[in-house]
Amino acid sequence: MESHRFGSSCLCRICYEEEEESSTSMESPCACSGTLKFAHRECIQRWCDEKGSKVCEICHQMFQPGYTIPEKKALVNVAAIIRGSRGFYYIDYHSAGSDYDVFPWI
C-alpha cells in the first residue's frame, strides 16, 4: 500500500484564504493557537489600522513583530458659545482623544 504525504495547510483568520503552512506570507503574530494561529501580515496590519490597536482581542498579546497603528487625529475642532459667558471659545481636542483645551476666541 502506497502512502502519500500531503503538506499541511493553514487558514488566514482574517480573510479565510488557505495557504501552505510553509508559506512565507502567513505569520503567527500573537499567542493564539489552533485555527486562529495564522494570518497574512497584510490582514493583521489592516486589522490594526481599523481597530487602532496592536493588541489581539482574543489572547490580549501584542501583535509581533513590527505592526503599527495610525496616529489618532483630532476628532473635532469647534467654536462654541458657553451660556453666561461673554464671548466665544475655541475647543481644541488633542490627538489623544479625551483631553482638550479651551481658548477664548476673540
For residues 92 and 42, membership in a common domain is answered with no
Three-state DSSP at 55 gives: strand
Separation between Cα atoms, residue 69 and residue 102, nearest integer Å = 28
In the prediction, which pLDDT does 25 show? 84
Which CATH number do you get for residue 1?
Answer: 3.30.40.10
Same domain, 19 and 41: yes
Same domain, 53 and 6: yes
The total number of structural domains in the chain stands at 2
What is the pLDDT at residue 92? Answer: 54
* C-alpha to C-alpha distance for 70 and 72, rounded to whole angstroms: 6
Predicted local distance difference test score (pLDDT) of residue 33: 94
Alpha-carbon distance 21 to 76, whole Å?
45
Q: How far apart are CA 66 and CA 47, in angstroms?
A: 14
- Predicted local distance difference test score (pLDDT) of residue 45: 95
Residues 20, 55, single domain; the answer is: yes
How many CB atoms are located within 10 Å of the residue 23 CB?
Answer: 14
Q: What is the pTM of this model?
A: 0.59
| pLDDT at residue 88, rounded to an integer | 57
Q: pLDDT digit of tens for each residue in the chain (106 aa)? A: 333 334 588 899 999 999 887 778 899 999 999 989 999 999 999 999 999 999 999 999 999 999 999 887 655 555 555 565 565 555 555 544 445 454 554 4
Q: Cβ(12)–Cβ(38) under 8 Å?
A: yes
Q: Are residues 61 and 91 in the same domain?
A: no
Query: Domain range for residue 82?
Result: 71-106
